[in-house]
Amino acid sequence: MTLSSRTRPRSAVVALALGLVVGSGTTVSATEAEDSRAASHDGDVKTCDSFGGGPLVAAGGNERVTNLPDLVYEGGEPESDTHLTITDVPEGITVTAIVVKGGPRHNVYVPGERRLSSDAPWKDLHAPLNDDGDVPTIEHWFACGEESPTPESFTESDATSSAEQLVPSETGDAEEPVSDEADGLPSSSAPAESTGTNPTGGPTAQEGSSGQDAAVDDLASTGYRNGWLVGLGVALLAGGGALLALAQRRRGKAAS
- Residue ranges per structural domain of the chain: 38-147, 208-256
What integer is the mean pLDDT of 177-187?
Answer: 47
Give burial (CB, 10 Å; 0-12/13-18/19+) of 60.
middle
Strand order in the sheet with 38-42: 38-42, 105-109, 93-102, 140-147, 54-60, 63-66
What integer is the mean pLDDT of 50-70?
Answer: 93
Whether the CA torsion 13, 16, 22, 24 is positive or negative: it is negative
What integer is the mean pLDDT of 138-164?
Answer: 73
Whether the CA torsion 32, 37, 39, 45 is positive or negative: it is negative
CB atoms within 10 A of CB 175: 7
Q: Is the pLDDT of residue 194 over 80?
A: no
> Which range has the worst mean pLDDT, 72-81, 132-141, 235-244?
235-244
Q: Is the pLDDT of residue 52 over 70?
A: yes
Q: Is the pLDDT of residue 73 over 60?
A: yes
Closest listed residue to residue 139, CA positions, set 60, 205, 73, 213? 60
* Rg for the chain, CA atoms, rounded: 52
- Continuous segment of H or E residues that includes residue 10: helix 2-30
Q: Is the pLDDT of residue 215 over 60?
A: no
Contact indicator for 109, 142 with CB cutoff of 8 Å: no
CA distances from 90 to 71, 118, 121, 124 (A): 6, 14, 12, 20
What integer is the mean pLDDT of 184-193?
Answer: 47
pLDDT of residue 72: 97
pLDDT of residue 118: 96
Of 42-56, 200-214, 219-233, highest mean pLDDT = 42-56
Of 11-20, 56-65, 114-123, 201-210, highest mean pLDDT = 114-123
pLDDT tens digits for range 79-116: 999 999 999 999 999 999 999 999 999 999 999 999 99
What pTM, to 2 d.p., does this model score? 0.50
- Continuous segment of H or E residues that includes residue 252: helix 227-255
Whether the CA torsion 34, 37, 43, 46 is positive or negative: it is negative
What integer is the mean pLDDT of 218-226?
Answer: 52
